[in-house]
């Protein structure tokens, strides 16, 4: 009686090897699918973030452009209120000086069609005194609010230029306004931040810079208050 043929090693191992490899292949395929989904998900998030950032930048640029257009219209309106001799000097200013003036006006949200510069300065003096009182009495809220009002003081009817002598309406003289603005309005904002944080000592340290800026700016707009040209 013949014995059945004994299967070879290859015949035994091949089926078993294929059966053992199937789960591994399935697991590998599943891993690749999950990995692909994860990558697609991350890619989708990245694209969404880029789109949102692009929209935000576009909105910001549109807002900035709209604000600049509004400022230019406001300055055009101011020039329309000026007498011809002042208009001529303002229009002759360099683009750099005009841009500087627009930058100063942009820092102020209150523009009046009625009050004069002297009336604005009375308001500023009131805010200055209230700011100083807040520091002296350790009233952080009073100092903070007063400093921010001072920094955002009203722009008078016609802007700043009509209240200067005609001889001062030139690029060299007006360049000083940027420094005065930084000394007064810029320092007042820093004082407000320090007071808001409860650091009244630091807030007090800014008073000298603000005062110095005020004195320097006054020299451009007026002489000694109340002086008469009729006295010898």
Residue appearing with tokens 């209120």: 81
Using the predicted structure, report yes or no on whether residue 158 has a pLDDT greater than 70: yes
Q: How far apart are CA 162 and CA 143, in angstroms?
A: 31
Greatest mean pLDDT among 23-32, 34-43, 115-124 lies in: 115-124
Using the predicted structure, report yes or no on whether residue 19 has a pLDDT greater than 80: no
Using the predicted structure, report yes or no on whether residue 126 has a pLDDT greater than 80: yes
Lowest mean pLDDT among 35-49, 107-121, 160-174, 184-198: 35-49
Which pLDDT does position 222 carry in this prediction?
80
Using the predicted structure, report yes or no on whether residue 149 has a pLDDT greater than 90: yes
Using the predicted structure, report yes or no on whether residue 88 has a pLDDT greater than 70: yes
What value, to the nearest 5°, has the Cα angle with vertex 184 and ends 118 and 65? 90
Q: Nearest Cα to 134, choosing from 118, 149, 115?
A: 149
Domains and CATH numbers, the chain: 113-224 (1.20.120)
Cα 50 from chain centre: 23
Q: How far apart are CA 156 and CA 50, in angstroms?
A: 43
Which pLDDT does position 140 carry in this prediction?
98
Q: Which two tokens stand for residue 68?
A: 């600049």
pTM of the full predicted structure?
Answer: 0.69
Q: How far apart are CA 6 and CA 73, in angstroms?
A: 101
Q: Which two tokens stand for residue 107?
A: 């820092």
Greatest mean pLDDT among 33-42, 44-53, 220-229 lies in: 220-229
Which pLDDT does position 219 carry in this prediction?
87
Which pLDDT does position 61 carry in this prediction?
53
Of 169 and 55, which is predicted with more confidence?
169
Which pLDDT does position 206 carry in this prediction?
98
Using the predicted structure, report yes or no on whether residue 22 has a pLDDT greater than 60: no
Residue % of the chain over a pLDDT of 90:
59
């Amino acid at each position: 009686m013949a014995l059945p043929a004994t299967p070879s090693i290859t015949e035994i191992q091949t089926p078993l090897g294929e059966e053992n490899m199937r789960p591994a292949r399935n697991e590998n395929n599943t891993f690749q699918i999950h990995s692909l989904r994860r990558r697609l998900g991350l890619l989708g998030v990245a694209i969404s973030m880029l789109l949102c950032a692009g929209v935000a930048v576009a909105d910001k640029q549109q807002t900035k452009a709209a604000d600049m257009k509004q400022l230019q219209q406001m300055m055009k309106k101011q020039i329309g209120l000026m007498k011809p001799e002042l208009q001529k000097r303002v229009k002759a200013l360099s683009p750099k000086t005009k841009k500087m003036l627009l930058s100063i006006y942009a820092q102020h949200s209150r523009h009046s069609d009625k009050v004069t510069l002297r009336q604005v300065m009375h308001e500023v003096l009131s805010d200055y005194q209230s700011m100083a009182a807040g520091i002296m009495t350790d009233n952080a809220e009073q100092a903070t609010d007063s400093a921010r009002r001072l920094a955002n003081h009203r722009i008078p009817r016609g802007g700043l230029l009509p209240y200067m002598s005609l001889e001062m309406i030139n690029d060299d003289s007006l360049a000083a306004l940027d420094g005065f603005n930084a000394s007064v309005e810029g320092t007042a904002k820093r004082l407000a931040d320090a007071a808001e944080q409860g650091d009244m000592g630091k807030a007090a340290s800014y008073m000298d810079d603000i005062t110095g800026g005020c004195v320097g700016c006054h020299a451009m707009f007026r002489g000694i208050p109340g002086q008469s040209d009729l006295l010898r």
